[in-house]
Amino acid sequence: MMYEKELAFAKDLAENAGKIMGRYFRAKDIGTVTKADHTPVTIADTQINDLVIKKVKETFQDHGVLGEENSFKPERKLIWVVDPIDGTAPYSLGIPVSTFSLALVDRADGQALVAVTYDPFLEEMYHATQGGGAFKNGEPIKTSKSHDFQHAYISLSSRSLEGEGYNYQPAKVLQEFRSQGTKVLSFVSFVYTANRVATGQLLVTIVGETEAWDIAACAMLIQEAGGVVTDFYGKKRRFDESGDGCIMAANKEVLNTFLSRIKQTA
């Protein structure tokens, strides 16, 4: 299997990240502080991010790290893109809707080669390798083939975004799809919802303005599970840089439906 060493490395890191998350979850010494962007960060976030950097330095001396809390030589050709805890807000509140996310990305094209996400609360390990499919706890997963929104579940970002040719207003999108009988959910963790698109539980998740660590691993999981991921213009996303909002859909027909709805509100 290609990237066998890298995948084993990522899974091992995920297991250790899960132990750190468990150590500080609902703990009195969780050490939550507010960053300059008004988002929370805990001791667990920084410990996990630092652990990834330490292990990459030891194991892959020519690789870099692009992390939410800290980075190491992110200009290198191959970088590990990490969100130590995707969903720090619920984690800091003692709500178990948070996920570790790690992807190996080739900066030549901005695409992922290896992806691992881990939910330590449900003990769910997701992984994918380029061209090798997507898996949950070792079992293959596939996105939904359905495009019937009447009985579907979807997840929307609560952040409004505007661009040339589109105007994403979540309240309008929510109202429209609910009128069709769609069940609309909203979780703080992007990865948590994207994992469920990869398994077919959700038809689509819309993510607001994103950094690379928000989407690198989970986007690859969806693509390897048969789904599609684009920005609000329908263009392919890079996973080594920030960008406009992101649509992660079960299939092309679902994606096209959402792109048309967003363009209609522009």
DSSP codes of every residue in 78-114: EEEEEEEEETHHHHHTT----EEEEEEEETTTTEEEE
Contact 13, 48 (CB under 8 A): no
Per-residue pLDDT of the chain (266 residues; tens, 9 = 90+): 789 999 999 999 999 999 999 999 999 999 999 998 888 999 999 999 999 999 999 999 999 999 999 999 999 999 999 999 999 999 999 999 999 999 999 999 999 999 999 999 999 999 999 999 999 999 999 999 999 999 899 998 877 777 777 778 888 888 888 998 999 988 888 899 999 999 999 999 998 778 999 999 999 999 999 999 999 889 999 999 988 778 999 999 999 998 888 876 55
How much is the CA Rg of the chain, to the nearest whole Å? 18
CB within 8 Å of 105: residues ≥ 6 apart = 66, 78, 79, 80, 81, 111, 112, 113, 212, 216, 239, 240
Number of H helices and number of E strands within the chain?
A: 7, 16
109: phi > 0 → left, psi -120 to 50 → alpha, else beta; which? Answer: alpha
Taken as a whole, the chain contains a residue count of 266
Contact 222, 144 (CB under 8 A): no
242: phi > 0 → left, psi -120 to 50 → alpha, else beta; which? Answer: beta
Backbone angles phi, psi at 151, to 5 degrees: -120, 20
Q: Are strands 33-34 and 40-41 parallel, antiparallel or unpaired?
A: antiparallel
Where helices occur in the chain by DSSP H, the ranges are: 4-24, 43-59, 88-92, 170-178, 190-198, 212-224, 252-264
